[in-house]
Structure formats: structure tokens, C-alpha cells
Copies of this chain bind each other. A is one copy, B any other.
């Protein structure tokens, strides 16, 4: 993406506007309880508070009408832990034995053979195409209501291998605070995830306070039909409607929301286009990237490992450079977050 003089000027004007708003915040915010107590009093937090103050204070030049206050959040790695594997992949891997019981011929076919072997290293090394095969095999033909019930049951019982807790416990407390803070100021918060839309909708309301209609994700077609009593139901089909990654994120936002977000949050190259699209709108914008640089409390990967990694789907050096050049804000888990999980003391 080229950087024009117009863009640089715009970034400068925004920076000045946000600086003025920061001054305003420091004068007026004293009486309010801190909406972001898990954030250290550093740049990232100040950028957030200045942005919210600027866009929601009537009379400010950057004021945004409430109907247009749309904030979009990537999920895996932005709102909760994405290592060692996306939890939805874990869910599908756990379903493989049941699928093979129904279709025994799969037992000796890759990638099902590897999954059944239980060899964790080999499973973790499966390429994306194999994971997609597993997703298709484990989900196709399921009635959507059965899928919802099964996924909910799995989420109740499955445990993350490191913390031995339900996956839904592994959300980042500072991001939960940020979503609540935005909502308290009239923002509609959306999840825009590369993960499966139906999967995330199962728990998003309970875990994040985000209703199903505000979850945009990778989505397959469904098929309408009738059961033996004539009652209509929908089943999951193998056809992909939206691959909600990379350019698919702004495309999915247009399809499902129909407005350009004012604020967007991500953590990997899959979020790049969503951040660019959000940032390219007029008026104040917030674009933030979560950097995983805390190997002790969570994980360190991407630029935190010497800023040299270039693997697609992670926080690459090129993305880091674009963030700096564009004026986006990088959130350091290590330095910006006092607490990462609500279960920490």
C-alpha cells in the first residue's frame, strides 16, 4: 500500500486532534471511575480514552453520531488466547473419533489417521488444507441446532492444555474492559473473526456480551428443509460463503454490517485489511494491534521474537511497519496490560 502526502497530513491532523482530546480528558476524567483498570497508564490506554472522548462528546470536531459508532474486534489472539491452536480447531479434532465411527473408511486416510494417532506434535503440524478437510467432514450435514448444542456442550467440558481451564475463561480482561467501555459510550461492538461464525455465536453473548447478530465470521451455506413431521430446519452445507480473513474482513463487514467501522482491533496479517479499511474513513479513527510479547503470562510470537517472523496469519514485520507508518497503535501485552486474565490475582 502506497503512502501519499494526503495520508500523512491526515495522520498528522488526527494526532493533533487526539492530543487536544487527551488534554480534555485529563481535565474532565478525574471524577469518573477508571473504565480501564487493567491497563497501565501508558500510550495505548491514553489513545483509547482520547478517541472515545473525542468521538462521543457533543460539539467536538470528531464527534460521531451514535448510529455510526461501530467497533470491530478480531477474536483469536485479540480477545482470547489462540495458542497452541484455535479452539474451534480443537473442537473439530475432538469430533473426529465420532465422525470416523460413522465412516470407518476414514480411519486410514490422512489427515484423520494423524488426528486419531493422538500425536500432538504431528497434529499441531497439520497444514491449513488438512484442517479445512477436517472442518468440512466434521460439520457438513449437521442441523444448525444440533451443532449449537454440541458446541455448547464441548465448550463446557473442554480444557485448555496449559491453564486447564475452559477456553472461554481465556479471554483478555483488558479487552473485555475496552468493549464494555465502548458500549457504555454508545458503540456497537462486533466480533469480525476468521473463526467459524456459528461457533463463535454459541458463546459470544455469554462471554463477551456480544449477541449473535453482531458476530461476523467465516460462514458456510446452510440448507433449508423439513423433518419427517414437516417442521423446517437448517443444515450446514460444505459451500463456503465468506472466508472472513484478510480482504474477506472488510468484504464481510460490508455484507453483514454495511457501515465502515470507526474503530478496529486485531493481532495478525489477517486483520490488516480491516484496519486499513477502518483507518481510511474520514474523521477520528482507532486502529490497534495486540502484540503477543509476554512469554511468561501468555505467549510471545510474531515481532516479539526479534521482529523477524514473516509467517502469514501472524503479526509480521511488514504489518508492524505498516502500523507505525499509518499511525496505528500497537498494544504490548507485557507493558500495557496489568492483568491479562480475570482469574489472575
Q: How far is the CB of A143 from chain B (nearest CB, A)?
A: 11
Interface centre among A223, A226, A229 (most CB of B within 10 A): A229
**Does A165 count as interface, using CB distance less than 8 angstroms?**
no
Residue-by-residue, is A20-35 near B (CB-CB < 8 Å gives 1, otherwise 0)? 0000000000000000
Residue-by-residue, is A242-253 near B (CB-CB < 8 Å gives 1, otherwise 0)? 100001001100
* Contact in complex: B230, A1 (CB < 8 Å): yes
**Does A213 count as interface, using CB distance less than 8 angstroms?**
yes
Contacts A6-B229, A258-B215; is A234 near B222 (CB within 8 Å)? no
What is the predominant secondary structure among interface residues of chain A facing chain B? mixed
Stretch at the interface among A46-54, A103-111, A272-280, A299-307: A272-280
**Does A205 count as interface, using CB distance less than 8 angstroms?**
yes
- Selected from B4, B205, B229, B250, the residue in CB contact (under 8 A) with A229 is B4
Contacts A212-B257, A251-B224; is A230 near B4 (CB within 8 Å)? yes
A219-B255 Cα distance, complex, nearest whole Å: 7
Residue-by-residue, is A78-89 near B (CB-CB < 8 Å gives 1, otherwise 0)? 000000000000
* Contact in complex: B4, A254 (CB < 8 Å): no
Contacts A3-B230, A229-B4, A232-B276; is A222 near B254 (CB within 8 Å)? yes
Interface centre among A213, A250, A257 (most CB of B within 10 A): A213
- Selected from B67, B201, B229, the residue in CB contact (under 8 A) with A7 is B229
* Contact in complex: B144, A232 (CB < 8 Å): no
* Contact in complex: B254, A241 (CB < 8 Å): no
Contacts A229-B6, A242-B241; is A258 near B212 (CB within 8 Å)? yes
The residue in chain B whose Cβ has the minimal distance to the Cβ of A237 is B251
**Does A42 count as interface, using CB distance less than 8 angstroms?**
no
* Contact in complex: B211, A67 (CB < 8 Å): yes
Give the B-binding residues of A (Cβ under 8 A): 1-4, 6-7, 67, 70, 144, 188, 197-198, 201, 205, 211-213, 215, 219, 221-224, 226, 229-234, 241-242, 247, 250-251, 254-259, 273, 276-277, 280
Beyond the given pairs A213-B257, A222-B255, A224-B273, 5 more chain A to chain B contacts, judged by CB atoms under 8 angstroms and listed by A's residue number, are A2-B229, A222-B254, A224-B251, A232-B273, A234-B251
